[in-house]
Structure 1
Amino acid sequence: MNIKYLVSVFGVLFIMVSISCEGPAGSQGEQGPPGPSMVYIDGYISANSLDDSIGYSEIYVSNVSSVPYIEINSIPYRYYWTYFRAEFPELSPGEDAIITMEAVNLNGDSVFPWASITVPGPLEFYGASENDTISLQLGLDNNFVWNPAGLPLDKQKYRFKLYLFLNFSDTTETGYIYQTLSIDTFLSDTTISISADWLPDPELISSLNSSSGYVYVSAIAGATEPGDASNIHGNANGFIALSYHSPQYRLIAELP
């Protein structure tokens, strides 16, 4: 038999087998998500301060190819390596905090994100003025109630902070007892009740030597909860919240 013929036939068979073993082309998979090209902004604004007449803001920015330039109400932020911070004259209820930014995203495109949040308020406890001292009555439930600060009913969010230091002698005459109590909690209502059980039992106190502390509440506006829509505009995404504090009231405790 002709050897050249056998080689030729074998080669043809090998090609046919190779072709027949190749299955049909599969369907093309879905396109993957785009890369992180959109600028992302996360930050907060404190419209006023408990200590002096300033407000401040801190902002974190990602997905940028260079350090962005940021202002709040035309006052520039300073860059501190991982975040941006600005201080400004405190804002009053009804004023707007307007943040503007010039940035370059990861695609090399210039973008100009911005956000605007109206300061809520005014905010104060019912029955108390700015210079008042509020008394906690030992042995009783104590209620704190404040006005809704102009926030929409479905966007009510407040932060309540209380600190109280007590120095008293108990009825067993074991000496002075020092006790510190504090609350720092977020609420969606305009009232909080402090249970009598949370405070020292007045029947076990022979003498209340001293008590001092403070209490205040803050109204919070902007994007504050997981699931909230982004409140950043202009080819960027993210969330900025703003808080406005009530006056800080002096707090003491009293025996019945």
Structure 2
Amino acid sequence: MSLQLTLIGIGTGNPEHLTLQAIRAMNAQDVILIPRKGTGKDDLAQLRLDMCDELVTNHTTRIVEFELPVRNEATPDYRQRVDDWHDAIATVWQDAIDSHGSAKKVALLVWGDPSLYDSTLRIAARIKPAPQITVIPGITSLQALTAAHATVLNEIGAPFIVTTGRRLREEGWPTGVDTVAVMLDAGSAFEAISPDGVYIWWGAYVGMKEQIVIEGPLSEVAEQITQTRARARTDHGWIMDIYLLRKL
């Protein structure tokens, strides 16, 4: 029997975001792997552990923690940095799986959803021999953001783009759209665009008890968001934020 690897979307830190499908899948596993991301990010592992404590009632399911490799930022080419990092993560996964050789059903709890700005599926494709992969969808940070602000992602009949902070900073406002959702921003990339006529819905730790949300004309709230973000990162040691920009 080949390895069955299940990638379970767990939302953005709120156990109530997990679907019934996700909970049933968690309880069907031999092993659930929990990554640790190093000093200052223990909360991320602890949230996953808390979910398992609350929702996994199958006493034969083992919870196994492992250390996640750190990306080498010294490599000049961005794509190469990411590829090398994914190779290293796949090796760690492989070692964790091999150390529990009797396990035929293994799961990873994926922040948000495995299909949106997440590399879990690309990393899983590196496992040898190739496992049978099942994906359980989860609530994304984009959904949690729009819900927190009680707003909608798109205008009627209008397109939108989901991009990264790095691309917004380097390339500016994407052509052909008035609505841009920005993920994976290392820090206030909205400062690189003209704020004229732009409205922002920003959120950090969306869906979690630490949730912070700010909205308003970008020209009026950009500095407030930047300062709030810096304080939150200092307070928690890490930050996950996302925002929606729209030309009005």
Alignment TM-score, normalising by the size of structure 2: 0.22
Would you tell me which structure has more helix in proportion to its own residues?
A: 2
Alignment TM-score, normalising by the size of structure 1: 0.21
Would you tell me which structure has more strand in proportion to its own residues?
A: 1
Computing the radius of gyration from Cα coordinates, the structure with the larger value is 1
